[in-house]
Amino acid sequence: MARRPIEFRHNGEEKAAFVADGQNLLDVLRRGIGDLTPKYGCGQGTCGACTVLIDGLPHLSCLTLAESVAGRSVDTVAGLANGSLSPLQEAFMDNFAAQCGYCTDGMLMAAEALLRANPRPSRTEVVEAISGNLCRCTGYEAIINAVLAAAERGGVRRAG
């Protein structure tokens, strides 16, 4: 199987990886560059555990061809904290929005995309934003409350 190099920005840093035809982004992130924050959940695009931001928009990395991110920006939970937890991560902790933690990375990335686009979302907008992410532990209320609390605190950490 032929492999070819791609270059992309990962959490603000330039990265290069060799990818095979048909290889998904989740595999490249986890095995290729060692970012274990996007989780392998279902491998079929139904659970949201592998959600990452590509050029600021949420994508399921298990369904995204790795070669499609060449020259683009890929953000994961590993990039949210910059020496300290982001306001969104703090709100998840303060509101007990993670129990088993398996969905947390995908939930954080879906919420991060929402707060970047809309710093003051309504409850309905939060529900819609996280609707592609399954959680078996929290019943979603703690997650929704955490996102709303993060919005009250100023949402996301701005680059700069």
SS3 per-residue string spanning 116-160: HHCCCCCHHHHHHHHCCCCCCCCCCHHHHHHHHHHHHCCCCCCCC
For residue 110, give the 3-state DSSP assignment: helix
Q: Write the class of the CATH domain 87-152.
A: mainly alpha
Determine the pLDDT at residue 157: 63
CA angle 135, 138, 142 (to 5 degrees): 115
Per-residue model confidence as pLDDT tens digits over 75-134: 999 999 888 999 999 999 999 999 899 999 999 999 999 999 999 999 999 999 999 999
β-partners of residue 41 are none
DSSP annotation of 71 reads T
What are 148's two structure tokens? Answer: 């709303």
- Start-end ranges of CATH 3.10.20.30 in the chain? 3-77
Asked if residue 160 has pLDDT above 80, the reply is no
38: phi then psi, degrees, rounded to nearest 5 = -70, 125
Give 44's Cβ-side CA count (13 Å radius).
3
Give 74's Cβ-side CA count (13 Å radius).
31
- Start-end ranges of CATH 1.10.150.120 in the chain? 87-152
Residue 24: Cβ within 10 Å count: 20
* 133, 49 Cβ separation under 8 angstroms: yes
What are 57's two structure tokens? Answer: 């928009």
Quickly state the pLDDT bin for 158 (edges 50, 70, 90).
low
3-77 maps to which CATH number?
3.10.20.30
Per-residue model confidence as pLDDT tens digits over 35-80: 999 999 999 999 999 999 999 999 999 999 999 999 999 999 999 9
